[in-house]
Structure 1
Amino acid sequence: RQRALLWAVLLAAWEAAWGQLRYSVPEEMPRGSFVGDVAKDLGLQLPGLGDRGVHVIDRGRTQYFSLHEKTGHLVTAERIDREQLCRLVEKCVLRCELIVEGQMQVYGIEVEITDINDNAPSFREAEIELRMSETTAPGSRFPLADARDPDKGRNSLQSYELSGDEHFSLAVQAGPGGDQRPELVLAKALDRGRVEEAAFHELVLRASDGGDPARTGTARIRVTVVDANDNAPVFSQAEYTVRVPEDVPVGSVLVTVTAKDADEGMYGLVKYSIKKATDMASDIFHLDTETGAIKLIRILDYEEGDSYELEVQAYDGGGLFDTTKVTMSVTDVNDNAPELTISSKLNEISEDAQTGTVVALLHVQDRDSGVNSEVRCSLDGGVPFRLEKSVNDYYRVVTAKELDREQVSEYNVTVRAADSGSPSLQSSAALYLRVLDVNDNAPVFAEERYSARVAENNAAGALVLTVRATDADWGQNARVRYRLGEGRVRGAPLSSYVSVQAETGALYALRSLDYEQVRELRLWVCAEDGGAPALSSNVSVLVQIVDENDNAPQV
């Protein structure tokens, strides 16, 4: 037992590691019902899952599941009707994906919707009219319309029973697919002329499912006894098979079934009816009871159903009949463009990001089939990004080379998805990405060196010249401040002779200069940006003092 438990734990861990979780939940559960502990199964930390970009995506038209941000539980977002979602499949499985944006991870989730007994068996017609010849031999069988129960397993249709009179009994045959087909059996000979009451027989057919408690449905059968009818209608084909493209216009006649009856008068007049069809087929096709023409009354969609079967009955005025099978095979047309969605993306990226950095996670799917569903994805040219295939139908957009904000500060990236149909259908998604600045440029002076001439005996505080430097970076990284390099003049600090204004780069003389003492000043000005760490550059400045005639000759 301990070894079995260990294997179960290892299997769950293996599935989680490979991005696949499986749960089950009964149908018709109220919104917010618990499905599975996703946070525990994937080892996600609580709380604050929503703040870290953890969310559930459902690729269908309806979001059936959501993630409870406080508990990390997968819960139902809508009431789920299994019969509405999965009436064409035995096992009802819904799929969604859990996106962890911070990790750029995708986890597939499969949830099996289990059946409850929420549907009673029902007949297509609550009242059934049958006509039988009085010469019908005892033991003759007459197919009855079967009941439908969209539930599955024990909750589906299990049995039939008949109540009425002694002339009839019930037999149940197994169909090709294992379904039960009720038949009315004539147990005792009919004699219309003996008593008037024998012209009609009222019966009740009851269908029951295997639920607990069981549900039932009934249909009333009225049998009319008529005079003898020698020949039954005969269809021209035992089976009709029609191939129909899914884009055929509504109102088109797809096929006409024909049957002939060798009798004359009312017994030779043939009419048609649909004896057996699924609910979906009944909503799509209409049978003309007079001509046998089967017409399309609703748009076909290959992705919803690729094959439909009808059982058509031809009956004459005496109640004799023949049955044929009509199979409608729907062929795919490239009528769905690829669906391209952005599951996760960055809005900003640093210009020093490494090559291969993921900036977006995309999902693509095409609801067509075969070659029409094969999708090729591409990026519009001229951008430093490339596409990489991820898991299943996911793609990553990653950097293909180093970025330089000073060259391009933002990108509009267009991702295109095109299928292989003819003609090809395509769709696109746009990504906007802003490049964040990194302090990778030092200030650059406008000139390689500066010089100025100043007459001696200048006023203290006089402007000598202005240096200017610019920085190709952005924001604080491009803010330039100036400072004077260290030095000495005639034993005194250089800063006692001149100063530089930190914001403007203006160089001022702090004292009156004397040509006879100092004929020139050689100094350095440093320009430093506001980055962390800061970058800087220096420029040399030569200040020449111009002589004035301020000294008299001495004898």
Structure 2
Amino acid sequence: MKKEKKTHALLFLLLLHVTLGQYDYAPYFYDNGPSSTNGNMDLFSISEDTPVGTQIYILNGTDPEGDPVRYSLTFEKGSMEYFRVDPKTGNVTLTQELDREKQDEISVLVSITDGRNKVVETVRVFVTDANDESPEFQNLPFIIDIPEDTAPGSSIYRVQAVDKDMGSGGSVTYYLQTSPFAKFTIDGHSGILRVKPGETLDYETTPTHFVTVVAKDGGGKYKGKHQVMSSTATITINVVDAQDMPPSFVGTPYFGYIYEVSVPGSEIFTVFAKDGDQGIPNPIHYSIMNGSDGVFDINSTSGCITLTTYPYLLTNELYEIKVKASEVGPNDQLLDYDVTTVTVRVVDLNNHPPTFYGENGPQSKFEVTMYEHPPAGEILRGFKITVNDSDQGANAKFKLRLVGPSRVLRVVPQTVLNEAQVTIIVEDASGIDYEKGPTLSFKLLAVEIDTPERFSATADIVINLLDTNDNIPKFTSEYYIARVAENSPGGSSVVSVTANDPDSGPWGEVKYTIYGSGSDLFAIHPTSGLIFTQPWTSLDAEVRSKYNFYVKAEDSEGKYSLAEVLSPSST
């Protein structure tokens, strides 16, 4: 019995020994270096511009017993899952875009299992740089205030831009996008902005300059190509005014007016001057230099000019006041100055219309008697006309014109200020013709020009014409045909001629006479124009068949015209 128990114990120990001798080892990853793409990815480097979907690595390991292994990747909770692995092949694929500037190292749990044993390792994957960042300006906006008397070559500001890339892609150089007439320059490495040597600033000409600065990196690879990136920023340079300009009056020339209703203390005009140094202007002090004649005063601070007396006491209609504007410096010292002229006119209210005057006072009708056909340009001296507007200045300015037969007469002057002698001149003498009408009538108008009331006045101009012997008798035909039988007795009527003279009186009376070859056989009645044969005349066609002679029509002053009489005889 004891022997059987001992034998069973030996068999148990032998079986235990055999069971304990069959070990199951865990799988493991192959060793890898930083440049290797096989292993467990520890210290693996990947460029940030690697496209999503790229196979970037192969996890590679083995199981000591030769069992098949499977792979997996795990990221910490809340972190971006950048990679995905095929569990069988170990092929690792990029699933998210990389950005070294945001995350340059990725921590990931890499595992390998043979189905029974699982090995988990924490590895670090490094993200390497690509030139994908532009330089970024710091401390924007760039606004600079500099005095206008800053010396040429002076440094006025330092621009700074940072590029988050590494190496040459992270280096920054500067330059300005400016015209050839730019007043500034920048150091390419330090970013120090300076007033260009030889250039000066002028607040009055250009109070603000806008300069564009470019920050450029040193370039680098991005997605397989060389790339240079840059950024721009605007520098606003405000030029601070310095005291280097005198004051100047604004809105010149200046004109003021005094009206008949003005009283002492009335404001006439306010001048205004400002310091030429507009950035830091000094106060202005106003004063009257001359031309006031004690009639005006000026407020030294506001520049308001006032009247010191009553208008009816003024002796001048025009005053030219010299006003001085001075800068007020420290301790109320008067510095640079400017001088201007204020022209002040004394004017009244427009309460009088123009009025025409004759020799005995106001008159609305002017009449003259004259001969017809005066020469062009002749002055009609029979008219004694004066026109007057007793207002002053613009209220007494008016125009004259004649209304009547066109271009026969013209009036001088056409524009009047206060008062003028009216002259009427012949312009077209042909229109002044007694035979066309013994009387000419016109309206003489005076109308204010620049007043809202446009007061006016009218006067009748009447011209009575006297006739002159300006016409000659005129026959109704250039020739007359007279037929008479050869057996007609003496004293027989042959033909009647007619001539007209439109003149009046004796100048229009016509007397007829005849003359010429054969006219001795005929006679004419001197007033009726009837032509007849002489009492003793005996006409014989066989002896003479045709008689041609002339008839003359003559007025009392010997003005005449001729007509031809053709007088063939007939049987």
Higher relative contact order (CA 8 A, sep 6+): 1
Is the structural similarity TM-score above 0.5? no
TM range (shorter): 0.3 to 0.5
Length-normalised TM-score, structure 1: 0.40
